[in-house]
């Protein structure tokens, strides 16, 4: 670990209109867990810059630290070295400002709340009046194509619909940044294709910045403007691939030579990081 | 079209008799009634067996040549039997509930009400205390470490040993009647509520808690919007155990006080004066009261869970 832990005071660069600063900037970021059998280097010297309105996928095998990196950005864990800025401030400041929405691997809906009240949960916590909560929730549910399901309860919906509710919940308070941790990992491929298309349309329409953790190469290539290839032991970034595909995409594109070319590049990147070697990880 | 619709609906709805028969076969009614019938048969037989020695003694004293039929008849109609028959107990209950004014000192409804009121007060105090202790243990690390052994130790002490002390101590500071009994009830009923709620308040999974953190929710919001609603399915089973224990506490509280009212007092006087029929009818009333208490909690549970949209 180097000694740069608290170098960055939460300075506000927001007045700097001339140089548009990146939304997320990590510098030599590292994170070491103390496990029973010695320290685990979950993240090691991660340098990454994410511009506004980008769609960035983090891809790599289990244990490469992609979820950990997302959790550091969300201030759900603290890094042990290096620095990270989110929207010009510390991740904690960004969390307190509610500048990101987080979508987990599982929908994590509250089963005692109806769909509408699940989407209203963050708005309640922010103290919005009931009428505005209701309007925002309705709009967010319409965005994910779930109008008319307001009064259903989570157990009445399919897995794909539940995950769409959780996306609506993250969108309801209009954050600038959407953090998604393998949101479609537990879904079947047909549902997943549909949701990928949906998410792509949503991103194009809203100009959100999305950081998207995935295991799937086609998913990463289809959705992203940039693909960050990561590798395990220690968790690090081995390559950042810029996606040259046009911004407007259709599912059919996944069979075109251009698409396959980029997918090949990602696969090569994973191979170069020895991601295919000890592929006998814990999961 | 209405003319057609009416017979169609009639066809689909089976006649009342058929549905009752189906209910008997498929539901819990028939098994429950079978067990009841078995209990009654064994009870009548037991009455003959247990009352026979004294009856035979009486026959022999009066030098009567008795038959088995006479023996059975006599054992089933003793004034102070070792074991009264279900018929005697039922007749006593009937006489002291339906046929007696509830204001009478011999009315079982009156005694059941006295016991129920201290059960209810004790149950409410105990449940509130149980929830408070659980909330403290979940939120304050020191309480979590220090309190649990005492909570468990409190239940290891036999209530029969503590009840007279509570009654005497409170009697000295002028508290008699309902209050000491309610405190004994509370002492018993807080325990299951504490145990259930500690588990319930810790039921939210890490993702549900992380979600709250991403919203920068404060502790009160995490409690009211996540921990408390997540604990409700754990609360009601605890309350059912709690109210049954509260009833036991109220009855035990009536035993050492020389109380004039309450099912516990009926049990005590019944056993003092060998009034076994009175003893058994008080026992059966206590069992029925327990059933009513549990049904009340179950009803509250159904209403709350239905309002939360829980799957049927």
A125/B217 touch (CB, cutoff 8 Å), yes or no = yes
Select from B263, B259, B253 the least CA-distant residue to B110: B263
B264 Cβ neighbours under 8 A, 6+ residues apart: B115, B250, B251, B252, B253, B254, B255
Indicate the residue of B207, B215, B310 with minimum beta-carbon distance to A106. B207
Q: For residue A52, give the 3-state DSSP assignment.
A: coil
Which pLDDT does position B3 carry in this prediction?
41
Give the residues across from A229 on adjacent strands.
A59, A239
Which pLDDT does position B17 carry in this prediction?
60
A183 Cβ neighbours under 8 A, 6+ residues apart: A103, A104, A105, A163, A166, A167, A195, A212
For residues A175 and A113, what is the distance between their CA atoms, to the nearest angstrom? 22
- Which residues does chain A have within 8 Å of residue B310's beta carbon, measured at their own beta carbons? 111-112
CA distances to A109, A233, A281, B52 from A168, rounded to whole Å, are 11, 35, 33, 78
- CA angle, residues A139, A140, A143, in degrees to nearest 5: 90
When computed from its CA atoms, the radius of gyration of chain A, rounded to whole angstroms, is 19
- What is the per-residue pLDDT across B86-107, written as a single tens digit (0 to 9) for each? 999 999 999 999 888 888 888 9
Per-residue pLDDT for B7 more than 60? no
Number of residues that make up chain B: 312
Per-residue pLDDT for B312 more than 50? yes
For residues A57 and A243, what is the distance between their CA atoms, to the nearest angstrom? 11
Which pLDDT does position A12 carry in this prediction?
44
- Which residues does chain B have within 8 Å of residue A105's beta carbon, measured at their own beta carbons? 207
Give the residues across from A57 on adjacent strands.
A212, A227
Q: For residue A193, give the 3-state DSSP assignment.
A: helix
Which pLDDT does position B162 carry in this prediction?
87
Chain A residue with minimum CA distance to B310: A112
Give the residues across from A211 on adjacent strands.
A56, A179
Indicate the residue of A105, A112, A122 with minimum beta-carbon distance to B215. A122
Positions in chain A whose pLDDT score sits under 50 = 1-18, 280-283
Q: For residue B227, give the 3-state DSSP assignment.
A: helix
For residues B196 and B234, what is the distance between their CA atoms, to the nearest angstrom? 6
For residues B164 and B172, what is the distance between their CA atoms, to the nearest angstrom? 12
Tokens of B265: 């007092």
Tokens of A44: 């090691």
* Long-range contacts, A200-203 (Cβ 8 Å, 24+): A200/A249, A202/A143, A202/A144, A202/A167, A202/A171, A203/A55
How many C-beta neighbours within 10 Å does residue B169 have? 12
Residue-by-residue DSSP string for A15-33: T--SS---SEEEEEEEEEE
Which backbone phi and psi does A226 adopt, to 5 degrees?
A: -135, 140
Select from A46, A63, A143 the least CA-distant residue to A101: A143
Indicate the residue of A110, A126, A153 with minimum beta-carbon distance to B229. A110
Which pLDDT does position A129 carry in this prediction?
95
Band of pLDDT at residue B171, cut at 50, 70 and 90:
confident
Percent of chain B past pLDDT 90, that is, above it, reads 62
- Which residues does chain B have within 8 Å of residue A100's beta carbon, measured at their own beta carbons? 214
Provide the number of CB pairs (under 8 Å) joining chain A to chain B.
54
Which pLDDT does position B16 carry in this prediction?
56
Q: How far is A257 from chain B (nearest CA, A)?
A: 39
- Which residues does chain B have within 8 Å of residue A125's beta carbon, measured at their own beta carbons? 212, 215-217, 221, 225
Which pLDDT does position B76 carry in this prediction?
93
Between A20 and B139, residue with greater pLDDT? B139
Which pLDDT does position A3 carry in this prediction?
37
- Which residues does chain A have within 8 Å of residue B309's beta carbon, measured at their own beta carbons? 112, 114, 153
Per-residue pLDDT for B302 more than 50? yes
For residues A159 and B104, what is the distance between their CA atoms, to the nearest angstrom? 63
For residues B282 and B274, what is the distance between their CA atoms, to the nearest angstrom? 13
- What is the per-residue pLDDT across B211-257, written as a single tens digit (0 to 9) for each? 999 999 999 999 999 999 999 999 999 999 999 999 999 999 888 76
CA distances to B24, B27, B177 from B33, rounded to whole Å, are 9, 11, 39
Band of pLDDT at residue B66, cut at 50, 70 and 90:
confident
Band of pLDDT at residue B190, cut at 50, 70 and 90:
very high
B207/A104 touch (CB, cutoff 8 Å), yes or no = yes
Inform me whether the C-beta atom of residue A88 falls under 8 Å from chain B C-beta atoms: no
B214/A108 touch (CB, cutoff 8 Å), yes or no = no
Inform me whether the C-beta atom of residue A112 falls under 8 Å from chain B C-beta atoms: yes
Band of pLDDT at residue B5, cut at 50, 70 and 90:
very low
Percent of chain B past pLDDT 70, that is, above it, reads 92
Q: How far is A79 from chain B (nearest CA, A)?
A: 17
Q: B108-307 in CATH: which number?
A: 1.10.3720.10
Give the residues across from A131 on adjacent strands.
none
Q: Where are the domains of chain B?
A: 2-83, 108-307
Which pLDDT does position A191 carry in this prediction?
87
Which pLDDT does position B310 carry in this prediction?
72
């Amino acid at each position: 670990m180097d000694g740069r832990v608290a170098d960055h005071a939460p300075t506000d660069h927001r007045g700097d209109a001339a140089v548009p600063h990146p939304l997320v900037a990590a510098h030599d970021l590292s994170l070491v867990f103390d496990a029973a059998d010695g320290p685990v280097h979950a993240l090691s010297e991660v340098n990454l810059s994410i511009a506004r309105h980008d769609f960035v996928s983090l891809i790599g095998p289990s244990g490469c630290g992609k979820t950990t990196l997302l959790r550091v950005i969300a201030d759900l864990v603290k890094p042990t070295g290096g620095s990270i800025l989110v929207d010009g401030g510390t991740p904690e400041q960004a969390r307190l400002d509610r500048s990101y929405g987080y979508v987990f691997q599982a929908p994590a809906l509250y089963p005692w709340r109806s769909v509408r009240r699940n989407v209203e949960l963050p708005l309640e916590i922010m103290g919005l009046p009931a009428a505005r909560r209701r309007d925002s929730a309705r709009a967010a549910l319409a965005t994910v194509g779930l109008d008319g399901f307001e009064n259903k309860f989570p157990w009445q919906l399919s897995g794909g619909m539940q995950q769409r509710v959780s996306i609506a919940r993250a969108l309801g308070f209009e954050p600038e940044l959407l953090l998604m941790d393998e949101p479609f990992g537990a879904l079947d491929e047909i549902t997943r294709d549909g949701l990928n298309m949906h998410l792509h349309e949503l991103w194009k329409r809203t100009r959100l910045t999305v950081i998207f953790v995935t295991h799937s190469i086609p998913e990463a290539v289809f959705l992203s403007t940039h693909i960050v290839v990561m590798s395990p032991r220690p968790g690090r970034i081995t390559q950042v691939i810029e996606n040259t595909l046009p911004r407007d995409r259709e599912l059919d594109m996944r069979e075109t030579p251009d698409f396959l070319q980029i997918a090949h590049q990602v696969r090569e990147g994973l191979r170069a990081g020895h991601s295919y070697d000890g592929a006998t990880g814990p999961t | 079209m209405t003319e057609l619709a009416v017979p169609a609906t009639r066809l689909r709805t089976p006649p009342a008799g058929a549905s009752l028969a189906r209910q008997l076969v498929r539901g819990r009614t028939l098994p429950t009634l079978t067990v009841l019938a078995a209990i009654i048969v064994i009870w009548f037989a037991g009455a003959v067996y247990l009352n026979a020695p004294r009856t035979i003694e009486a026959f022999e004293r009066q030098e009567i040549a008795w038959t088995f039929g006479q023996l059975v008849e006599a054992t089933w109609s003793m004034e102070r039997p070792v074991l009264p028959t279900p018929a005697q107990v039922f007749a006593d209950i009937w006489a002291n509930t339906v046929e007696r004014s509830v204001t009478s000192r011999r009315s079982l409804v009156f005694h059941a009400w006295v016991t129920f009121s201290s059960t209810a007060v004790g149950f409410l105090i105990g449940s509130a205390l149980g929830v408070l202790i659980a909330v403290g243990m979940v939120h304050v690390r020191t309480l979590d470490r220090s309190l649990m052994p005492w909570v468990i130790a409190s239940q290891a002490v036999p209530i029969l040993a503590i009840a007279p002390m509570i009654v005497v101590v409170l009697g000295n500071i002028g508290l008699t009647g309902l209050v000491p009994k309610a405190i004994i009830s509370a002492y018993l009923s807080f325990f299951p509520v504490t145990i259930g709620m500690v588990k319930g308040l810790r039921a939210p999974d890490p993702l549900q808690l992380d979600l709250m953190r991403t919203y920068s929710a404060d502790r009160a919001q995490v409690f009211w919007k996540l921990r408390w609603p997540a604990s409700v399915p754990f609360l009601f089973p605890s309350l059912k155990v709690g109210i049954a224990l509260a009833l036991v506490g109220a009855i035990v509280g009536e035993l050492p006080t020389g109380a004039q009212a309450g099912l516990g007092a009926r049990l005590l006087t019944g056993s003092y004066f060998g009034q076994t029929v009175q003893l058994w009818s008080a026992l059966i009333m206590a069992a029925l009261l327990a059933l009513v208490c549990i049904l009340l909690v179950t009803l509250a549970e159904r209403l709350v869970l239905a309002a939360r949209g829980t799957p049927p």
